[in-house]
Amino acid sequence: MAMITADPKDVPHVASFAWTAENLEIAKGFVAQYPAGRQASAVIACLDLAQRQSGGWLPRVAMDYVGRFLDMPPIRVYEIATFYTMFSLKPRGKYLLQVCTTTPCWLRGSDAVMKACREVTGVGPGEVSADGLFSTMEVECLGACVNAPMIQINDTFYEDLDEASTKMVLEAFKRGETPKPGPQVDRQTSAPVGGPTTLTTIAE
């Protein structure tokens, strides 16, 4: 994990934050999973919820609110929010493109996937596209190595990509569509491409 900081000039002022009625109940559910007095254990889940409510990033007022909600000193919340790469301290695009470049994805063409992301969105890692739709970041293993190369877009995996299919997925998002998740080739989940090659018959 890497510490993330934000330049103050890149962070808009947000005056206030409070749970929506729906998210308040969700946050209470997180806290209820832990013993009395251990509510701070729910901090990561609550920060993730606050980030989603805030449009994909964590204003300081949201972190402070989570601290009060969990009876934690603000600095403890900041320590967690700045440590985990899942949290962003400045605004990012509507669609977060997490491009895996670990060895299996790199060997299978993640450089071409990253190139396609740059060409379609106009931005590289750490940047937000001019239309506000896309942010890109380079990440380590996302756990779908057999379907490399792949991208996580918000909460969804797009796998078995090449330059052309990456562009097709991103162009669909630009049109307001939701492309089919998972493998972008003729493959069922993580099964062999083209179907099974062994144990193809059932013994009598």
12/70 same-domain check: yes
Q: Structure pTM?
A: 0.81
pLDDT of residue 5: 52
What mean pLDDT do residues 81-104 have? Answer: 94
Q: Write the pLDDT tens digit of every residue in 16-50.
A: 999 999 999 999 999 999 999 999 999 999 999 99
Host domain of residue 136: 95-183
How many Cβ atoms are within 10 Å of 39's Cβ, its own excluded? 18
pLDDT reported for residue 7? 54
Count of domains in the chain? 2
4 pLDDT band, cuts 50/70/90, is very low
pLDDT of residue 193: 83
The overall average pLDDT reported for the chain is 91
Residues 87 and 76: beta-carbon distance below 8 Å: no
Q: Which amino acid is at 72?
A: M
The last residue of one of the domains, among 52, 83, 114, is 83
CB 94 within 8 A of CB 56: yes
Please report whether residue 169 resides in a domain: yes
Domain boundary at 57, 83, 109, which? 83
Structural domain contains residue 201: no
Q: 80 exposed, middle or buried (CB, 10 Å; 0-12, 13-18, 19+)?
A: middle
